Amino acid sequence: MRRLSKESPSGKLRAVKKAPEGIRCLEDSVDTENRPRITKQDYLRKGMFFLATAVSVGVGLVMFPLLPATSRLMFVAALDILAIWIICSRTVVGTYVEMYERMKSKVMHDSASGKHSSPPQPSKSLDFLLYLFLKKEDRLTAIGDLHEQFYEVLVTFGLWQARVCYAKNVLSSLWPLIARKLQRPFAKLLLRLGLGVLEEWIRRMGR
């Protein structure tokens, strides 16, 4: 089949072949493939958000009339904190889902192109916390020992188990260091001031 196009600059009509059906179908399918699709994680995230909202509202409607007048203000404040936590958790879950999708697509692209990604590394944030609290002469030794334990657990169990174990080891190493810092007079003064302000705020809320 041939169709006549618009008149050419030379004043003559030129014939243009129609594209084959297969090519036209392929061109039409490009836009549909690039459309954003709603995944199971999106449905799960929205379901958790609406379920938590419904539960918090239901509990508030049931418990609010039963509370004394002095406790209603604290109950409303707790509901506000719960609502803020729900909104923040929804944002955090969405962020981690997007990070997981990007990481998965990168891994699939590297495997398809023949590239090999670098081996997993321990958390830099936890390393930085150790770097802050450890003495200068103890940093390399302590962090190196924790990295060796991370790779041992990684080979034996897997990635997420290694990350959990590494976080637990870092926190258990930080606790004596933080407790030692709190024994200083200036830290004790700040702690007492903070606890005093918190106690006064709770006392005012209970009036």
What is the tens place of the pLDDT at every residue in 144-156? Answer: 888 898 888 888 8
Nearest to 127 by CA among 149, 148, 142, 108: 142
2 contacts 18 by C-beta, under 8 angstroms: yes
Which tokens in the block code for residue 30?
Answer: 């490009």
Q: pLDDT tens for residues 13-63?
A: 444 444 444 444 444 444 444 445 556 666 676 677 677 767 766 766 666
List the alpha helices (DSSP H) in 34-120.
Answer: 40-63, 69-113
pLDDT of amino acid 19: 44
- Give the residue, 4 or 145, on which the prediction is more confident: 145
Q: What is the pLDDT of residue 35?
A: 46
Residue 33, pLDDT score? 47
Report yes or no: 182 and 188 within 8 Å, Cβ to Cβ: yes
Q: How confident is the model at residue 12 (pLDDT cuts 50, 70, 90)?
A: very low
What are the sequence ranges of the domains in the chain?
Answer: 2-33, 40-113, 124-206
Tokens 């196009």 sit on residue: 5
Q: How many CB atoms lie within 10 A of CB 143?
A: 18
Q: Looking at per-residue confidence, does 127 or 6 come out higher? A: 127
Judge residue 170's burial from the number of C-beta atoms within 10 Å of its C-beta, 0-12 exposed, 13-18 middle, 19 or more buried.
buried
pLDDT tens-digit readout, 64-112: 666 666 566 666 666 667 666 666 665 666 666 677 677 777 766 666 6
pLDDT at 25: 45
CA–CA dist 132, 183 (Å, integer): 17
Q: Does 183 score more than 50 pLDDT?
A: yes
For 9-42, give one letter per residue: b (16+ CB within 10 A) or e: eeeeeeeeeeeeeeeeeeeeeeeeeeeeeeeeee
